[in-house]
Amino acid sequence: MRNLADELGVSPMTSYRYVPGKRALLDLVIDAVLEGVEVPPPSAGTWDERLRMLERSVRRELRRYPGLREQLTRPTPHATRLADAAIGILLEAGFDDATATLAFSALYAYMLGQLEIDENAAASRARPRRRNAFSGVAPRAEPLHPDDIFEFGFDLMLDALRRKLPAR
């Protein structure tokens, strides 16, 4: 809060007139970032296409603000709106409440984990090179783009969910 006050040219106590503390300020920042994420309507595609659109949009917004992912520990109005939308898409597809909630939780955890890996990879590229853990394979492989890694894992998760979908 002190840094914010310095940046704004006000006393630290002035900041507390608007927000009660750092946690509340971070919640407002998270909500402002997620506010721009639109939920794809049913006409946008199948349940899995809509879920992919939503995940890509959330991921794109969070990638714009490295480190913000670490603050996603409490529900804000727009985080709740997006979680409800994702679970709603799964329910519309035919999953029961428990499976839809578990599926959302797994997809969300995967997205946050991949964002952390992306952030760490970006930070490590700025450091001097170390011996690659994949030294036997890496010289022969094409460089992997974070989006390709994410999409591959997301595809695997959607494939598993399709198998759990009750027959209609």
CATH assignment of the domain containing 153? 1.10.357.10
Domain coverage including residue 2: 1-35
User: In this structure, are 95 and 151 located in the same domain?
Assistant: yes
Q: How far is CA 134 from CA 56, 125, 139, 152, in A?
A: 28, 16, 9, 19
- Count the domains in the chain: 2
Instruction: Find the range with the poorest average confidence among 50-54, 90-94, 136-140.
Output: 136-140
More confident residue, 131 or 81: 81
- Give the per-residue pLDDT at 89: 98
Residues 148 and 101 in one domain: yes
- Residues 147 and 39: their CA atoms lie apart, in Å, by 20
Q: How far apart are alpha carbons 159 and 157 in whole angstroms? A: 5
Check whether residue 65 and residue 111 sit in a common domain. Answer: yes
Do 53 and 17 fall into the same domain?
A: no
CA pair distance 100, 93, nearest whole angstrom = 9
Q: What is the pTM of this model?
A: 0.81
**Are 79 and 101 members of one domain?**
yes
- Per-residue model confidence as pLDDT tens digits over 32-41: 999 999 999 9
Q: How far is CA 153 from CA 53, 100, 113, 148, 160, in A?
A: 15, 18, 11, 9, 11
State how far the Cα of 64 lies from the Cα of 78, in Å rounded to an integer: 17
